């Protein structure tokens, strides 16, 4: 086996820098950042080795929220897993629901009615809007803009969560989608309110971007920091906005065309440099595309049933087989791999968590930067520990 250029760094030894006479200039400092630190977005730890302020080694440590979600999924019925998927990435329960429902739809060969497909797209795009808005709020908070931008972001998020609450009964743990459709229908008043929120969202984005996109501090902290080369991004299975910021045009809504995404007119924003600013900008532009999709979906949504009449929720026993289903979640490719053996429980239930795999090259991005930049770089990955640890 030959060592290739993509071979990841080993658990390597690090030594302090030497001065002109060949003597070490100082000592290395080992810092355990986390698990309780405001910048780690949950219980997450980074074992950082510092030479002065420069990061020379960084090992992420996680598992603090590990509850063996996959084992739980193997011991309960197919439907009972649906509310558990909400708890994976608790910012985007709707897309988690959809990824799981889509996988089981394919496993059991269910046909999702037209109206349900539209509702699913609307929910997913609303989720994408609120996730990216909040992420940008957290991201600038990591840079030191304490509170204010995040509060603006959370104000807008609350409007979308109100929509989720009125249709599913819960703000965050929606448990809304079902195999072959959705749990309850939406009414005209809800659609009108969703239209109103969508149409006003562009105005909010203009305002938000006005504060941030040309901000001198944001430019100085993000441009040229945490660069991922295109080849490494592909090789390390990076997905979502992080991948597209590195210049790879790969969006599952365009590649797989799952659901009814082939009907909508939207573009995929792609970055150029792969640095933090591109990741910020790709997310802002993605939100603008999401608004376009939402306006088309809310305009075109037909009347009709919202569940496949063949779908069976109780006593559901799919035929033996296996399927891998994936969607473009706000954080990247969210996949479910389910093996059925004909019993009421799945034999194997695996989640492909995007934020877990996006952390693979956290060390590569941080090496050579200051410790303060490591905080911002972690912020740009967009992790949720419920999904990383499962």
Partner 1 sequence: METLEQIKARLEIALPITRLDILPNECPAGERSLVVNAADGFAVAKFLRDDAQLKLDYCSNVTGIDWPQATIKTKIKRKVSVEGVEKEIEETIETLRSGHLEVVYHLYSMELKHGPVVLRLRTGNRTDHTRLPSLTPLWRGAEFQEREIFDLYGVIFDGHPDLRRILMWDGFAGYPMRRDYVAPDDFEYEPTPHDKVLEQAKKHYPAEVKAEAKTEVKP
Taking the least distance from each CB to partner 1, the nearer of 17 and 66 is 66
Q: Which is nearer to partner 1, 140 or 357 (CB)?
A: 357
**DSSP letter (8 states) at residue 181:** E
Q: Report residue 338 as tokens.
A: 């389910």
* 273 three-state secondary structure: coil
Q: Which of 155, 224, 322, 368 contacts partner 1 by CB under 8 A?
A: 322
How far apart are CB 61 and partner 1 at their closest, in Å? 9
Any contact of residue 68 with partner 1 (CB under 8 A)? Answer: yes
Q: Give the residue with the Cβ less far from partner 1, 68 or 148.
A: 68
For partner 1, the binding residues in 219-248 under the rule CB under 8 A are 232, 234-238, 248
Give which of 188, 153, 197 is closest to 167, Cα–Cα. Answer: 188
- Total residues interacting with partner 1, rule: CB under 8 A: 50
Nearest approach, Cβ of residue 69 and partner 1 (Å): 10
How many whole angstroms separate alpha carbon 157 and alpha carbon 341?
Answer: 41
Listed residue (52, 24, 30, 177) closest to 112, CA to CA: 177
Min dist CB 231 to partner 1, Å, is 9
Rounded CA gap, 277 and 292, in Å? 23
Find the length of the chain.
390
Q: Which stretch binds partner 1 (CB under 8 A): 200-208, 215-223, 353-361, 369-377?
A: 353-361
Q: Which is nearer to partner 1, 157 or 279 (CB)?
A: 279
Report the 10 Å Cβ neighbour count for 100: 27
Give the count of alpha carbons within 13 A of 38, CB side only. Answer: 10
Please pick, from the candidates 58, 357, 366, 376, the single residue that binds partner 1 as defined by CB under 8 A: 357
Interface of this chain with partner 1, residues 94 to 123, rule: CB under 8 A: 106-107, 109
Cα angle 176-182-185, degrees, rounded to a multiple of 5: 100
| 9 versus 224: smaller Cβ distance to partner 1 | 9
- How far apart are the C-alpha atoms of 383 and 278, rounded to whole Å? 17
Report the distance separating Cα 174 and Cα 71, nearest Å. 22
Window of 155-163, 194-202, 345-353, 374-382 that interacts with partner 1 by CB under 8 A: 345-353
Q: 86 vs 36, 56, 146, CA distance in Å?
A: 23, 37, 29
C-beta of 181 vs 335, nearer to partner 1:
335
Pick one of 122, 361, 375, 378: the residue that binds partner 1 (CB under 8 A). 361
Residue 316 is a binding residue for partner 1 (CB under 8 A): no
Given the DSSP bridges, would you call strands 28-33 and 348-352 parallel, antiparallel or unpaired?
A: unpaired
CB 42 within 8 A of CB 50: no
Determine if 310 is a binding residue for partner 1 (CB under 8 A). Answer: no
The contact set with partner 1 (CB under 8 A) reads: 1, 3-4, 6-11, 62-63, 66, 68, 70-71, 106-107, 109, 232, 234-238, 248, 250, 255, 318-324, 326, 333, 335, 337, 339-340, 348, 350, 352, 356-357, 359-361, 389-390
């Amino acid at each position: 086996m030959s060592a290739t250029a993509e071979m990841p760094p080993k658990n390597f030894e690090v030594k302090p820098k030497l001065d002109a006479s060949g003597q070490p200039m100082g000592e290395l400092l080992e810092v355990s950042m986390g698990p309780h630190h405001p910048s780690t977005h949950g219980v997450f730890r980074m074992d950082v080795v510092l030479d002065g302020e420069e990061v020379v080694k960084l090992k992420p440590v996680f598992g603090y929220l590990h509850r063996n979600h996959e084992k739980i999924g193997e011991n309960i019925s197919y439907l009972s897993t649906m509310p558990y998927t909400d708890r994976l990435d608790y910012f985007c329960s709707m897309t988690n629901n959809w990824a799981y429902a889509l996988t089981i739809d394919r496993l059991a060969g269910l046909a999702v009615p037209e109206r349900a497909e539209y509702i699913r797209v609307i929910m997913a795009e609303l989720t994408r809007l609120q996730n990216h808005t909040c992420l940008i709020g957290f991201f600038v908070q990591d840079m030191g803009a304490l509170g204010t931008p995040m509060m603006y972001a959370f104000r807008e998020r609350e409007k979308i969560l109100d929509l989720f609450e009125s249709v599913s009964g819960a703000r965050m743990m929606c448990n809304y989608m079902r195999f072959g459709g959705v749990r309850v229908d939406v009414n005209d008043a809800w659609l009108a309110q969703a239209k109103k929120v969508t149409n006003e969202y562009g105005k909010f984005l203009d305002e938000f971007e006005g504060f941030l996109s040309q901000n001198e501090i944001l430019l100085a902290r993000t441009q040229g920091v945490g660069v991922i080369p295109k080849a490494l991004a592909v090789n390390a299975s990076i997905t979502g906005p992080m991948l597209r910021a590195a210049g790879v045009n790969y969006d599952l809504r365009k590649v797989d065309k799952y659901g009814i995404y082939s009907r909508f007119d939207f573009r995929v924003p792609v970055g150029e440099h792969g640095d933090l600013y591109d990741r910020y900008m790709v997310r802002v532009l993605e939100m603008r595309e999401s608004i376009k999709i939402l306006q088309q979906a809310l305009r075109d949504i037909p009347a009709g049933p919202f569940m496949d009449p063949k779908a069976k929720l109780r006593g559901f026993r799919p035929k033996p087989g296996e399927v891998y289903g994936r969607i473009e979640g706000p954080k990247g490719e969210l996949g479910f791999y389910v093996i059925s053996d004909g019993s009421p429980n799945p034999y194997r239930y695996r989640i492909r968590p995007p934020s877990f795999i996006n952390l693979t090259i956290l060390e590569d991005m941080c090496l050579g930067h200051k410790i303060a930049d490591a905080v911002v770089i972690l912020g740009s990955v967009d992790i949720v520990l419920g999904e990383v640890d499962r």
